[in-house]
């Protein structure tokens, strides 16, 4: 039998490795920023074009590399961080496997310029598809500049799987946030298509969080600090009243490395138990420092998953620490279920002395003496005249008695009607509705029963209303008596500017959008003033996540998000008129069978199926 196993060529092996390390432009940003941090850079610039598809450039003022190191850095498993296997358990750097640059160079055009501090000239290197095109001496500033162009140029299938520029920029921004939060002592700049998105100076940890997520984040933060033999925990958590319905600002860092840990996340959520609603998530920025030998970070190509030696102890410590911070800063309410409120002294009587009760006795009272005036109390000494009692019976002579009782109606048993009416008309006189468990609306049709999901039905009604207002451009806006000023972060402001025009067609009136403040003077009639901030937060979150981005227009996404946010929820009690109006509005829609998110709105139960239950 002929030999069938053979070694892969280097360029094919590099492309396979690149598939594990480089999944999208954000993966390149993560690796390059971490390399700049490992190079002890004090200032880092990130330049991105077209969501990272055209250009990703990272410029730092770190220690730089010599000519030999610059060439070896693009070889597979070439690293200066480890020498033997034991070094894997004492890592204090970001990268260590030496595969990032090799993987990036295998699927993109890479240009690097680097110069160490002690050298006068640097090295310029150009690589495309793992092939070195040129290497020459150049004049460059101290540090390293790496430009990655035309990502996945030689793998069209991978490039076709990339999302829109907006979605890819969102992922790049997330990676930038993770590096910026872990290293507040490093100055960072972020540019996209020539526009500056972030300019973060060297500051303390709390100020770095505020600079990234906006000034309104400052009032939300509660400090967390604890030191034990297992780990040292620091950072901040957000107050319970600012919990969001979507997973927002949730960051775990272990030894200044961002990680994803559902187990530790559950510990934080358990500490917030009873303080937030079940369908909301708390925000946190937690930094854990543990012994490097007690963790294993070499279990995932992206190094975002870590294995702990003693997860159970860390879970208990983290949960107790967060609870302690909530109680220490009077965030957690204190309830004493053993206290009887009836025994509490009213505030108005706190300083008053108790008075002796006094009993008044009528010394002249004689129960056997009926004529004595002392026998009669003061209330009965003056008897009212009973004269005129005959007037009560005026008009009740024998001739008028029959006439008085001729219009009396007696109660009778309600007439029973058939469960399924023959009339299928959905008019108010023909339709009766019933709400079940504050979730479903039950009504009757000719063929049987109709069960409607009230939330999905309302979503469909609102969705078509919003879509009609945008299409027909008949905007109806409710003016606010006092304009509302809301604060957002810089990325959120950029999203608002992008969707400002379709929001104006829906009824939102933006007076000014300057800096981090948005001044709103009008909203759609269906948006309560108290929920304007919640609605805009949900719109921004869904737009950044690219909800249903493929095949749907900008207006369609906004209408779906608004309908989802403003629709009635499970648990809301609807009166009979509201139930009937919802049923009539639903069947007045163009598409009444499915919600805007393609989920069924109602189900029918035929009368024959009900009859079978009684056989």
Q: Is pLDDT above 70 for 419?
A: no
Cα 395 to chain center, whole Å? 74
Token output for 360: 């008044």
**Residue from 585, 587, 589 nearest 604 by CA:** 587
**Rounded distance, CA 323 to CA 302, Å?**
31
Is 410 part of a structural domain of the chain?
no
Residue 322 confidence (pLDDT)? 93
DSSP 585-612: HHTTSS--SB-TTS-B-EEEEEHHHHHH
Give me the mean pLDDT over the 486-505 stretch.
81
179 and 114, same structural domain? yes
324 and 288, same structural domain? yes
- Could you tell me the CATH number of the domain that includes residue 597? 3.30.1370.100
Q: Is pLDDT above 60 for 547?
A: no
Of the given ranges (414-423, 433-442, 575-584), which has the lowest mean pLDDT? 414-423
Is 511 part of a structural domain of the chain?
yes
Is 214 part of a structural domain of the chain?
yes
284 and 195, same structural domain? no
133 and 221, same structural domain? no
Candidate ranges 328-332, 348-352, 539-543; pick with highest mean pLDDT = 539-543
209 and 91, same structural domain? no
594 and 468, same structural domain? yes
pLDDT tens string 361-397: 887 787 777 654 444 444 444 455 555 556 655 555 5
550 and 572, same structural domain? yes
Which residue among 282, 307, 328 closes a domain? 328
User: pLDDT tier at 573 (50, 70, 90 boundaries)?
Assistant: confident
Q: Is pLDDT above 60 for 197?
A: yes
Give me the mean pLDDT over the 107-127 stretch.
92
Which residue among 200, 233, 256 closes a domain? 200
- Could you tell me the CATH number of the domain that includes residue 135? 3.30.565.10
DSSP-based three-state secondary structure for 79? coil
User: How many domains does one find in the chain?
Assistant: 3
212 and 79, same structural domain? no
Cα atoms found within 13 Å of the Cα of residue 322, Cβ hemisphere only:
29
Residue 428 confidence (pLDDT)? 45
Give me the mean pLDDT over the 587-598 stretch.
89
Q: What φ, ψ does residue 540 adopt, rounded to 5°?
A: -65, -45
**Rounded distance, CA 128 to CA 134, Å?**
10
**Rounded distance, CA 118 to CA 64, Å?**
10
Residue 424 confidence (pLDDT)? 43
Give me the mean pLDDT over the 247-274 stretch.
89
Question: CB pairs under 8 A, 24+ apart, for 241-247?
Answer: 242/283, 243/272, 243/276, 243/277, 243/280, 243/281, 243/282, 243/283, 244/280, 244/281, 244/283, 244/537, 244/541, 245/279, 245/280, 245/281, 245/538, 246/281, 246/538, 246/541, 247/281
Evaluate whether 106 touches 161 at the Cβ level (below 8 Å): no
Is 314 part of a structural domain of the chain?
yes
Is 401 part of a structural domain of the chain?
no
249 and 142, same structural domain? no
- The percent of residues above 70 in pLDDT, for the chain, comes to 78
227 and 193, same structural domain? no
User: pLDDT tier at 423 (50, 70, 90 boundaries)?
Assistant: very low
**Rounded distance, CA 184 to CA 234, Å?**
14
Is 265 part of a structural domain of the chain?
yes
Which residue among 200, 225, 242 closes a domain? 200
Is 397 part of a structural domain of the chain?
no
User: pLDDT tier at 447 (50, 70, 90 boundaries)?
Assistant: confident
Residue 429 confidence (pLDDT)? 46
**Rounded distance, CA 266 to CA 263, Å?**
5
pLDDT tens string 341-351: 666 666 666 66
Q: Is pLDDT above 90 for 295?
A: no
- Could you tell me the CATH number of the domain that includes residue 269? 3.30.230.10
**Rounded distance, CA 282 to CA 238, Å?**
6
Q: What domain range includes position 321?
A: 205-328
Residue 89 confidence (pLDDT)? 60
**Rounded distance, CA 292 to CA 89, Å?**
6
Is 394 part of a structural domain of the chain?
no
Residue 167 confidence (pLDDT)? 82
Using CB atoms within 10 Å of the CB of residue 458, give its burial: 0 to 12 exposed, 13 to 18 middle, 19+ buried.
buried
- Angstrom CA distances, 152 to 33, 144, 171, stand at 20, 23, 17
Residue 83 confidence (pLDDT)? 60
Evaluate whether 520 touches 508 at the Cβ level (below 8 Å): yes
Name the β-bridge partners of 487: 517
241 and 158, same structural domain? no
User: pLDDT tier at 411 (50, 70, 90 boundaries)?
Assistant: low
152 and 228, same structural domain? no
| Burial letters 369-384, b for 16+ CB under 10 A, else e | eeeeeeeeeeeeeeee
- Average pLDDT of the chain is 81
**Rounded distance, CA 571 to CA 455, Å?**
10
Count of C-beta atoms within a 10 Å radius of residue 93: 15
β strands within 209-249, DSSP E: 221-227, 232-238
């Amino acid at each position: 039998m002929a030999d069938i196993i053979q070694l892969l060529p280097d360029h094919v092996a590099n492309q396979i490795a690149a598939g594990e390390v480089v999944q999208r432009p954000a993966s390149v940003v993560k690796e390059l920023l971490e390399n700049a941090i490992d190079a002890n850079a004090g200032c880092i610039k990130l330049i991105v074009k077209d969501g990272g598809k055209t250009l990703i450039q990272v410029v730092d003022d770190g220690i730089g590399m010599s000519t030999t190191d610059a060439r070896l850095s693009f070889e597979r498993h070439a690293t200066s961080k480890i020498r033997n296997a034991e070094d894997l358990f004492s890592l204090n750097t970001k990268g260590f496997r030496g595969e990032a640059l090799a993987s990036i160079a295998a699927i993109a055009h890479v240009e690097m310029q680097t110069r160490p501090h002690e050298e006068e000239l640097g090295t310029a290197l150009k690589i495309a598809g793992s092939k070195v095109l040129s290497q020459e001496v150049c004049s460059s500033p101290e540090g390293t500049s790496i430009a990655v162009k035309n990502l996945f140029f030689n793998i069209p299938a991978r490039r076709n799987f990339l999302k829109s520029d907006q979605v890819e920029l969102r992922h790049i921004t997330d990676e930038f946030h993770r590096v910026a939060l872990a290293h507040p002592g490093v100055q960072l700049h972020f540019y996209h298509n020539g526009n500056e998105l972030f300019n973060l100076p060297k500051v303390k940890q709390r100020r770095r969080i505020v600079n990234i997520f906006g000034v309104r984040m400052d009032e939300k933060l509660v400090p967390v600090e604890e030191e034990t033999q297992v780990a040292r925990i620091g950072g901040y958590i957000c107050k319970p009243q600012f919990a969001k319905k979507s997973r927002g600002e949730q960051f775990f860092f272990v030894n200044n490395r961002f990680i994803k840990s559902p187990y530790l996340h559950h510990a934080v959520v358990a500490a917030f138990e009873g303080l937030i609603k079940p369908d909301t998530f708390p925000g946190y920025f937690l930094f854990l420092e543990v012994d490097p030998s007690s963790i294993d970070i070499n279990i995932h190509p992206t190094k975002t998953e870590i294995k702990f030696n003693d997860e159970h102890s860390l879970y208990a410590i983290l949960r107790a620490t967060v609870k302690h911070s909530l109680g220490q800063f009077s965030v957690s309410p204190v309830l004493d279920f053993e206290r009887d409120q009836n025994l509490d002294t009213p505030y108005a009587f706190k300083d008053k002395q108790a008075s002796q009760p006094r009993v008044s006795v009528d010394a002249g009272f004689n129960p056997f003496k009926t004529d004595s005036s002392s026998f009669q109390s003061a209330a009965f000494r003056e008897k009212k005249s009973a004269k005129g009692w005959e007037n009560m019976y005026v008009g009740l002579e024998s001739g008028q008695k029959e006439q008085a009782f001729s219009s009396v109606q007696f109660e009778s048993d309600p007439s029973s009607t058939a469960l399924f009416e023959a009339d299928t008309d959905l008019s108010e006189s023909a339709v009766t509705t019933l709400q079940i468990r504050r979730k479903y609306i039950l009504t009757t049709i000719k063929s049987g029963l109709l069960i409607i999901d009230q939330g999905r039905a309302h979503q469909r009604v609102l969705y078509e209303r919003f879509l009609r207002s945008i299409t027909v451009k008949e905007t109806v806006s409710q003016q606010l008596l006092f304009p509302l000023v809301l604060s957002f972060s810089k990325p959120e402001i950029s999203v608002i500017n992008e969707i400002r025009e379709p929001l104006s067609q829906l009824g939102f009136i933006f007076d000014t959008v300057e800096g981090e403040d948005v001044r709103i003077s009008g909203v759609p009639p269906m948006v309560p003033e108290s929920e304007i901030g919640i609605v805009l937060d949900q719109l921004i979150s869904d737009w950044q996540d690219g909800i249903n981005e493929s095949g749907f227009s900008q207006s369609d996404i906004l209408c779906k998000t608004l309908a989802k946010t403003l629709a009635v929820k499970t648990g809301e009690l609807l009166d009979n008129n509201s139930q009937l109006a919802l049923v009539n509005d639903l069947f007045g829609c163009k598409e009444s069978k499915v919600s805007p998110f393609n989920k069924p709105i109602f189900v029918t139960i035929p009368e024959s199926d009900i009859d079978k239950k009684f056989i």
